Every structure is written in C-alpha cells, then in structure tokens.
Amino acid sequence: MKLALKLLALLLVSVVMMSCRGQKTDKPPIRHHFNMNFQERFNAQQENPFFEDGMAMRMPVEGTVARGNLRHDTVLFEGVDDTGNYVDEIPFDLTRDFLYRGKERYDIYCQMCHGGTGDGQGVIMTGGYGYVPAPTFHSESSRNMPEGEIYSAIANGIRNMPAYASQIKVEDRWAIVAYVRALQASQNVREIEMDRYDVDLAELRDIYEAEQARLEALAATRAAGASEEVSVERGEQQFVRNACQACHSVDGRDGVGPTLAGLYGSERNFTDGTSAIADEDYLIESILYPSAKVVEGYEDAMQPYDYLSESEIQSLVEFIRSLSDE
C-alpha cells in the first residue's frame, strides 16, 4: 500500500512538472551570479580609458602563438629547410590513400586551370576567358622544381595564382604535390616501359591525335575570328587581357619580371652570360619561347604565349616599343 502511494505521488509530481513546460511568468528570473549580468565590459572598437592608447581591443602579447597555430616545423608548414631552401622530399609516406587524397583535392582546386593531366589546358584556360595561361607540369622547369616549391605555390600563391592556405590543409597540400609528381611520371613514361603494363598504346595514340586535332581546330577558329589589325592600342588591350601587368610594370617599377618601360632597344644580359638588344625579334622570341633567354636577376617563370595570333604578337611588340618612345 505504501509503495502504491509513493508511486502515485511520484506520478502526480511528474504531471505537475510537465504541465509547467512552455508557460510564461511575470516573475523576474532567478540569477545565481547577479554581478555577472552587470559586469564592466567593452564592445568591439569601444574606447577604454584604462589604457594609454584608449583601445579596448588589445593586440596579442608579442611572441604569443594561438593554440594549434605553432609552425615550428618549416619543412612541413613552409616547404623549406633551416637554410631557407626548398626541400626535395615530401614529409609524408607516399601511400595509395595519400595519392588518391591528392587526386581528390587536385580535381577540386587545380584541375579547372591546370587540366586533368597537368598540361595547363583546363576548362578555364581553353574557354576563351582571357586568363593568363596556367603552366604545364610537363615542362623541364616544372619537372625540375623542388617539391617544396610546388607546396609553396599552393600555400602562398604565385603570380596570378591565389594562395590556397585558407582552403587546403597542410597535409592535403603535400598530397597534391605528390599527385602532381604522379601526373608527371605518368605523362613521361617511355613506350618500352609501357609494354610491361596492360595498356593499349594504339588506342592512346588515337586519343592523343584526336585531342591534338581538337586543339589545332580551336586555334584555327580563334585565328580566323581574330582581327588582323596591328596597333599600339590593340597591343595594350592584349597586355591587359593576358594580365601581363601581373609580372611586368610599364612605369619602371620592378616586379616578378623586368619592367617594360624603356625595354625596347636596350641591352639585356642573360643568366647564361650572353646579352642581346631588345629588338623586335627578341620580343617575339620572349613571348613565344620565354625560357630561351632569361634575363639576369629573374627566374625562368614565364609561360609561353604561343596561343596568340601573329597580329596579336605584333601589336604587343608595338605597344612595348611605344613605352620606349615616350
């Protein structure tokens, strides 16, 4: 009987408690720590007379590092060794999962510009949008690039390419580097080595020839639709459209590449110890084959602009010439 009464009392209490849910009251709320509701505090950008500079928002103490942001391992986080040189080794085990992770991240962030095979023929580059051509990963300069330099380009950006440090995690950046190396290896295998694998070389040749024909047809279509006008004005338009100003200034300021101000007719010294006068032939060669003569003090970083028509190149030359006539 007593047990039944206890259970009944418990049931009644439960019903009463449930009936209180959702009901409003005019009584003031119970404050266990009343002083916390009225503590002295400052809003963002508010003045604080306690400090000499009057700023309520304080800078972190010099030398402090936010939790999880310690970057003491320069190889892992920057791609350079203790001397500041780019490293030649990826600081992760090259497992199948690691490479496939790199492929997944590459397809998300890199493929649209650099292409599925790393040839620089991504949809953005071949769609006629006027972007600066993305470099191919299959050039000699790209193959000789240290792993740390590729990592740095992903993390910090380079020329017109933005930094991806805020979007791609450290390990994923290295995974992309590994996948780029895999792409380079896959595109530079000799036929005699491919005989060891189950690969239909004839089919691959047909695919390659079809792709080359497509690119040639695309180039012919663009050339047919392009104006044959050669002028300084058109050269300036090409200069802006191809984002040449990202590397070359027109007012004498130094940049990634040498300034174009006063370039025409000047003597240029090259990294191989030779020199030449910057005449029309030199400018055309520099546009089509920039690695042929690299100016002293600069890196071999410019990509070929061989997709430009003859009149577009001549117009660029005229524009550059005009910068020396002023």
The H or E element spanning position 269 is strand 267-269
Give the domain ranges of the chain. 74-189, 232-325
Closest C-alpha among 299, 296, 315 to residue 242: 315
pLDDT of residue 129: 63
Q: Over the chain, what is the mean pLDDT?
A: 84
pLDDT of residue 18: 61
172, two tokens: 């994923």
Phi and psi, residue 14, nearest 5° = -60, -45
Q: How far is it, in rounded angstroms, from Cα 324 to Cα 277?
A: 13
**Residues counted in the chain:** 326
Q: How far is it, in rounded angstroms, from Cα 176 to Cα 184?
A: 12
CA torsion sign for 240, 244, 247, 248 is: negative
Largest CA distance in the chain: 113
Give the number of other Cβ atoms within 10 Å of residue 133's Cβ.
Answer: 20
| Per-position pLDDT tens, the chain of length 326 | 666 677 776 777 666 566 555 667 777 777 766 666 777 788 888 999 889 999 999 888 888 888 877 888 899 999 999 998 999 999 999 999 999 999 999 999 999 899 888 988 888 877 666 677 788 898 888 889 999 999 999 999 887 788 999 899 999 999 999 999 999 988 877 777 777 777 787 887 888 788 778 777 766 766 665 567 888 898 888 888 777 877 888 888 887 788 998 899 999 999 888 998 989 999 999 888 888 888 998 888 787 887 788 888 999 999 999 988 75
pLDDT of residue 190: 77
pLDDT of residue 102: 95
Report the phi/psi class of residue 150: left, alpha or beta, with left for phi > 0 and alpha for psi in -120 to 50.
alpha
Q: Is it true that 74-189 and 232-325 share their CATH fold?
A: yes
Closest C-alpha among 198, 211, 79 to residue 148: 79
**Cβ atoms of residues 90 and 84 within 8 Å:** no
| Adjacent-strand bridge partners of 161 | 158
**Cβ atoms of residues 238 and 260 within 8 Å:** no
Give the number of other Cβ atoms within 10 Å of residue 267's Cβ.
Answer: 8
H-assigned helices in the chain? 2-19, 74-78, 96-109, 111-114, 123-126, 140-143, 147-156, 170-186, 191-194, 201-225, 232-241, 280-288, 310-325
Closest C-alpha among 301, 216, 319, 314 to residue 264: 319
CATH topology for 74-189 is Cytochrome Bc1 Complex; Chain D, domain 2 (1.10.760)
Side chain identity at residue 315, one-letter code: S
| Adjacent-strand bridge partners of 158 | 161
Task: For domain 232-325, give the CATH number.
Answer: 1.10.760.10
**Cβ atoms of residues 217 and 209 within 8 Å:** no
| Cα 62 to Cα 50, 59, 66, 179, distances in angstroms | 20, 8, 12, 39
pLDDT of residue 226: 57
Give the number of other Cβ atoms within 10 Å of residue 219's Cβ.
Answer: 13
Tell me the pTM.
0.54
Q: Collect all residues with Cβ–Cβ distance below 8 Å to 268 and sequence separation of at least 6.
A: 275, 276, 277, 278, 282, 293, 295
pLDDT of residue 13: 65
Q: Collect all residues with Cβ–Cβ distance below 8 Å to 152 and sequence separation of at least 6.
A: 78, 79, 80, 86, 158
